[in-house]
Structure 1
Amino acid sequence: MDDRLPFAAGEPCLLFDDRGRRYLLTLRPEGEFQYHLGMIVHADIIGALPGTVLRSSRDAELIPLRPRLADFVLKMKRGATPVYPKDAGAILVWADIGTGMTVLEAGTGSGGLTMVLARAVGPDGRVVSVERREDHAAVATKRIATFFGGMPPQVELRIGEVEDHIAGASPDRIVLDLPEPWHSVPLAAAHLPGGGVLCSYLPTVPQVQTLRSA
């Protein structure tokens, strides 16, 4: 979204108060935002430019800005714990993910990493994200569409097991946020191209050791 354009209904907005505290909301014509220093109606934000100084009902200063992707991932309501920006950046670098690539992601969760991958591959790339749980996929779909103003054409969300989608996706990169990613290694090795990368996000050393020996 162009920051030179005013806010519109349906898009996310990040409000900053005079102490730098941030509040994420989705703008609705009839909406209200209430906090400890009063209230502001969404209608006062809709049509305003980012950076405009607004006032709450108790005359407290509020500044609306469009959230960066990092802000949105950290502040969005979620079901599953997302891959946080500091880790998402490392994944992009170490998996060498760039424009035009096809990335197969497993473990969509709340969609935080999916959004980062969509930005990285761009409109000429493709992100196929597989999630086992329908409730998590539903949350991710809503969050992704809210941030981008609709589902990006390069993103495809699927329900199921990643092993059932590796061959059909023809991925350049595979990114796994799963508790037991080693089950996917044989198929990944068979279907990644020479020089393709399998990247797994794991919290413990024993998991890393098991994956390394798979």
Structure 2
Amino acid sequence: MTKIKQNSPVLFFYNNSKKWLMNISKKESFHTHIGVIKHSDAIGKEYGSRLMTNKDKYVYLLEPTMYDYIMKIQHGTQIVYPKDLGYIAARAGIKDGQKILEIGTGSGSLTSFVASIVKPRGHVYTFDVDEKFMKIAEKNISRSGLSKYVTQHNLDLKTSKEIPVTEMDVALIDLGDPWIVIPKVRKMLKGSGAIFAICPTMNQLEKLTMALVENEFTDIESTEHIIRTIEAREGKTRHSFQGIGHTTYLCFARKAFFGKTKAKTTTKAKTTTKAKTTTKAKTTTKAKTTTKAKTTRKKTKN
């Protein structure tokens, strides 16, 4: 049985649209339309218990999940939603112990989610150029208790010649022009390493796919994920009038080796052989011509 104590994270849940995520502080309370909720009243209770407000309304004391942290995250930029996060993790095979490269930290929702999977033996190396957003992301990552599994870098990988990390298992790219970093990402990934790019438009998918093929990536797949909520109630179950439709397109691929370097070497070898053969042929022809000329002069002299 897990009891709530000072500094414990708690999701105060009233309904799907009214819920509050906080760390318990016995001297704090907050005012809502359903009444005043005192933190001290939650201390000592088991997760899943309910708490009455001064207006005789109740809230449930739930233990927050990563989904709750992501949906309550402070937004500095557009976040990657759970409906997309789940597919990214499953398709890329993200698991404990892996090293993850992220380009474009944003608000840190994807960063936090991935860190929660690869911990405790894995690590996320995330790169961004906007210090303002990086500070927001740092707070969000810290709030979810995952700071020790994330290293933030203020570095523009689109222009930097540096290769800061290598042998990454998965690369996650959230940029407006992801195709620019593909050659560099290839150098940072291990063989067969996966890549996922977040693309708001189909034009981006087209340019990205061309860059992936050019840089020897295979198993390329572009998808869109739409979720529809169902309001299930006795005798009147129906689709919800609210929901999350299109958020982004996802592009997946894996690093491969097309044998292009070997093919070039073979071509060069063939060219060299051909050149030698041609030279030999020319030498032989010249030798024959010289011999023929000497014979002709000898006959003329006689």
| TM-score strictly above 0.5 | yes
What is the Cα deviation at residue 23 of structure 1? Answer: 2.2
In structure 1, which of residues 156, 170, 180 is the aligned counterpart of residue 151 of structure 2? Answer: 156
Q: Secondary structure at the match of 1:168?
A: coil
Deviation at 1:41, TM superposition (A): 1.6
CA displacement 1:77-98 (0-9 Å, x = unmatched) = 3222211111111111222222
Residue 109 of structure 2 is matched in structure 1 by 112
Q: Secondary structure at the match of 2:90?
A: helix
1:94-142 C-alpha deviation (Å, 9 max, x unpaired): 2222221111111111111111111221211111011221121111111
CA drift of 1:191 comes to 3.0
Matches within 5 A, 1:22-33: 22-33=19-30
The count of corresponding residues between Structure 1 and Structure 2 is 209
SS where residue 76 of structure 2 aligns? Answer: coil
User: Is the Cα–Cα contact under 8 Å of residues 166 and 187 in structure 1 kept in the other structure?
Assistant: no
Q: Distance in 1 between matches of 2:121 and 2:99?
A: 9
Superposition pairs of residues 1-214 of structure 1, within 5 angstroms: 4-17=1-14, 21-148=18-145, 151=147, 153-163=148-158, 164=160, 167-170=163-166, 171-214=168-211
The structural deviation recorded for 1:19 is 7.4
Provide the rounded CA distance (Å) in 1 between the counterparts of 2:16 and 2:94. 37
Q: Could you tell me how far 1:202 is from its partner in structure 2? A: 0.8
Partners of 2:149 and 2:15 in 1: CA distance:
38
Partner SS for 2:89: helix
Q: Secondary structure at the match of 1:46?
A: coil
- Deviation of residue 165 (structure 1)? 8.8
1 CA distance for matches of 2:69 and 2:31?
19
Structure 2 residue runs of 5 or longer lacking an equivalent are 212-302
Structure 1: stretches of 5+ with no match in the other structure? none
Contact 1:11 1:147 in 2 (8 A): no
Q: Distance in 2 between matches of 1:177 and 1:198?
A: 11
Which TM-score applies when normalising by structure 1?
A: 0.88
Supply the AA of the counterpart residue of 1:168. Answer: P
Residue 206 (structure 1) shift: 0.2
Misfit runs of 4+, over 6 Å: none
TM-score (norm 2): 0.64
Q: Which amino acid in the other structure matches residue 164 of structure 2? A: G
Alpha carbons 2:78, 2:107 under 8 Å: kept:
yes
**Root-mean-square deviation (CA), in Å?**
2.1
CA shift, 1:209, in A, is 0.5
| 1:181 and 1:211 in contact (8 A); partners too | yes
Do the aligned partners of 2:94 and 2:118 also contact (CA within 8 Å) in 1?
Answer: yes
Greater RCO (Cα-Cα under 8 Å, separation 6 or more): 1
Cα deviations by residue, 1:9-53 (Å, 9 ceiling, x for unpaired): 334321112677422233333322211111112222233321122
Deviates more, 1:154-163 or 1:175-184: 154-163
